[in-house]
Amino acid sequence: MKNEIQTARPVAVVSGGSRGLGQAIVTELMLHGLTVATFSRSKTPFVDEQTAADPQAKRFRWESLDGADAQALAGFARGVLQRYGRIDALVNNMATLGDGLLTMMRDADIHRQVSMNLESAIFLTRACLKGMLPQGSGSIVNISSVNALRGHKGVSIYSATKAALIGLTKSLAVEVGPAGIRVNCVAPGYFSSDMTAAFTDEQRARIARRTPLKRLGTVEDIAKAVWFLLSPESSFITAQVIAVDGGFVG
């Protein structure tokens, strides 16, 4: 099928790129010259701003879709390939947090976290690989969490899904490495976000005390780590997990 837009720029797909960490990742990748296609459930001022600056979607494309819909994810990836003719990078960033004791969690909340945090990454990765494999190149970064590396009360399902992303990273790296595709993982620690917005000053101070660098992270800290793993500077790095947590002692 004829491409709508021919581009020599690398093309990245970022899930959940309309706000927070996803927005920072999109911004970082565009800063380094990539074209970015992203999606989320609803528009944000960031999306409106980028769309207004690039009405023909030559550098930025956004669609509204439910990340729990496997068919919609596959359709999104196909649309990116048809429009730009390539997919060079994928960042599986989308996630939802449902905290609470496992014995008190509703079935629907458990299913939603597993679907959004894990299954969506699997389905989107499968779809994007259909563009990367014929190219013989590509780079995938999965956004995990330090909760996958250390145990914390009240986030057992979230932690399980994020730990599964690490398993996906390591196995898939072996599977697609011979095709020239790298797969790595970033595990953020505590950083300023919607998820930590409800923290009290005392909670923030406690986290800072347990962090050798004495502060919470920023979305920019994490976005720069993502870019490093996608960039040519990391061309011999695959199947790795980088914790971006300031050395947090859990």
| Residues assigned a catalytic role | 158
User: Quick check: 39 and 67 in contact, CB under 8 A?
Assistant: yes
Q: What share of the chain is helix, strand, coil (3-state, %, to 5)?
A: 50, 15, 35
Nearest-angstrom CA–CA distance, 136 and 209? 46
Residues 6+ apart with CB under 8 A from 59: 9, 30, 35, 36
DSSP string, 105-149: --HHHHHHHHIIIIIHHHHHHHHHHHHHHHHT-EEEEEE--GGGT
The token pair that represents 182 in the structure block: 């790298």
The token pair that represents 80 in the structure block: 């990116």
Amino acid making up residue 207: I
In sequence order, which ranges of the chain are alpha helices (DSSP H)? 20-31, 45-53, 70-84, 107-114, 120-135, 156-176, 201-209, 219-230
Nearest-angstrom CA–CA distance, 70 and 155? 25
Q: Are strands 241-244 and 11-15 parallel, antiparallel or unpaired?
A: unpaired
Closest CA to 224 of 242, 250, 201: 242
The token pair that represents 135 in the structure block: 């190219």
